Amino acid sequence: MSSEKENETVTSMLSKSSLESQPGKENQNVDKQKAEQYKDEGNKYFKEQQYSKAIENYTLAIQNNPNEASYYGNRSFAYIKSEFYGYALSDANKSIQLDSKYVKGYYRRASSNLALGKFKLALKDYEFVVKTRPNDKDAADKFKECEKICKKIAFEKAIAVDETNKTAWDSIDIEAMRNSNVESDYKGPRLDSTNKINMEFVNQLIEHYREQKVLHKNYAYEILYQIHQFLKKSPTLVDINVPDDKKFTICGDIHGQYYDLLNIFKINGLPSENNGYLFNGDFVDRGSFSVEVIFTLFALKLVYPDHFYLARGNHESINMNQMYGFEGEVKSKYSQQMFNIFTEIFNLLPLCHLINSKVLVMHGGLFSKDDVTIDDIRAVDRNRQPPEDGLMCDLMWSDPQYSTGRSQSKRGVGIQFGPDVTQAFLIKNNLDYVVRSHEVKQEGYEVMHNGKCITVFSAPNYCDSMGNKGAFINIKGNDLTPKFVTYEAVEHPKIKPMAYANSFSLFGLN
């Protein structure tokens, strides 16, 4: 994910480099020596992880010599590092168009498609790389790993056809689990015979997790069962009423950063009837404490169903979970069976929340078409994996842009929408502003579109590498003016982000 400065730079660079794709421009204003200088400068910034500056220099290299495939390949890699997979895919395609034997172009395209969950397309390009470089062990490993994912998906689809009416819960006997004895040497939080989850249990769970201990599987399944039963009855769009004298807090992405989640509660107070929260998606993946995050959030939802809210993000989906660590983490700490249950529960999470009929909160953003109403959102059938277009896709994937209108998504999914789109949507639905998450911001938040589109991101020093602050928003029922609270990252156990993720890496630069 990128900061707002990177966002601006990328948008600017794309507009400046529009000549790249225009027919007949390839041979104009070629200065190969200057292009190489810009490429070398881009490589230097890339190695320093200053990806926006790397993109800027690769773009200048392209403008001075639009015929060199490696410049597009390098910029594609920088886009991948910035998680702009749509732009990365476009550059990879251009590099292959210029040089059909440019192996790194196929590698970049495979990596972009892989990140977007398009495993079959990625597999095709990995296969090309392996055939071209038969002695490349790294490429062979990636091909095998991608092939394994494709076979797994095909197998799961075959099972789904044969067992249409079955769910992951069919293999779980929750009553038998409730009646079984938990081992006497288990020292963690326990539920009594009523199985009621209360704040005493949650407080014990928080401390248990703080010490890097695992919740007993019987209690883990109990939480999942109860949250599944609750979410089955929830609507796609949840209305929240915040009383005049009550504080309410909106948080953005957490991404498995459990110790930073605890810091939010330390700063802002634990959830209660007088201290409501909305966590706006992307609870899991990336950070290596996603299991701890999601069970804590689910437990709090069960304790305060009318004061604690959870929205679905793009990372509450199977493709993202398979790539970015959550599946691997659940399998490591519990089982594949439990991950399958998580997948069914994530499908039931609401897509957005409407606060006091005036503030709409969703994870991604607004829509690829005009005249969408609140009632249209209410009518979305959310119980599925995110589609590649339509209202559900936009709610989970789209991003705001500085320019007016709509444009191609830098991510390759959803769209980018301008201030005019935001203004028209707010007027149409009599809203004050929208809040979304989905993007790293250096200060933890960003206010765009004349104050009408706010981004909040709550994972500080994202992936232990971005150096950003985290933030949350406080509002009151009688004053919906957003008040931003920012904070730095706190220490966590020495387990690196992405510890459970697929081990795909990329070729180096040219």
Residues involved in catalysis:
315
In angstroms, the first-to-last Cα distance of the chain is: 24
Q: Which residue has the tokens 């404490």?
A: 289
Question: Is 343 within 8 Å of 228 (Cβ atoms)?
Answer: no
Q: Which residue has the tokens 């979305």?
A: 380
Q: What is the DSSP code (8-state) at residue 460?
A: T
Q: What is the dihedral of CA 313, 315, 318, 322, to 10 degrees?
A: 180
Backbone angles phi, psi at 42, to 5 degrees: -60, -40
Neighbours of 179 (CB within 10 A): 10
In angstroms, what CA-CA distances link 218 with 191, 224, 382? 10, 10, 28
C-alpha 17: how far from chain center: 28
Using DSSP's 3-state secondary structure scheme, residue 481 falls into strand
* Count of residues making up the chain: 510
In angstroms, what CA-CA distances link 445 with 295, 377, 420? 26, 25, 21
- Give CA angle at 180 (176, 185), nearest 5°: 150
**Whole-number Å distance between alpha carbons of 246 and 355:** 13
**Whole-number Å distance between alpha carbons of 180 and 190:** 13
Counting Cα atoms < 13 Å in the Cβ hemisphere of 381 gives 2
Q: Which residue has the tokens 């948008």?
A: 11
Contacts of 300 (CB under 8 A, 6+ apart): 202, 271, 277, 308
Strands 415-417 and 237-240: unpaired
Please, which residues bridge with residue 474 across strands?
Answer: 249, 483
**Whole-number Å distance between alpha carbons of 497 and 393:** 26
Residue 425, H or E segment = helix 419-429
- Three-class HEC string of 344-402: HHHCCCCCEEEECCCEEEECCCCCCCCCCCHHHHHCCCCCCCCCCCCHHHHHHHCEECC
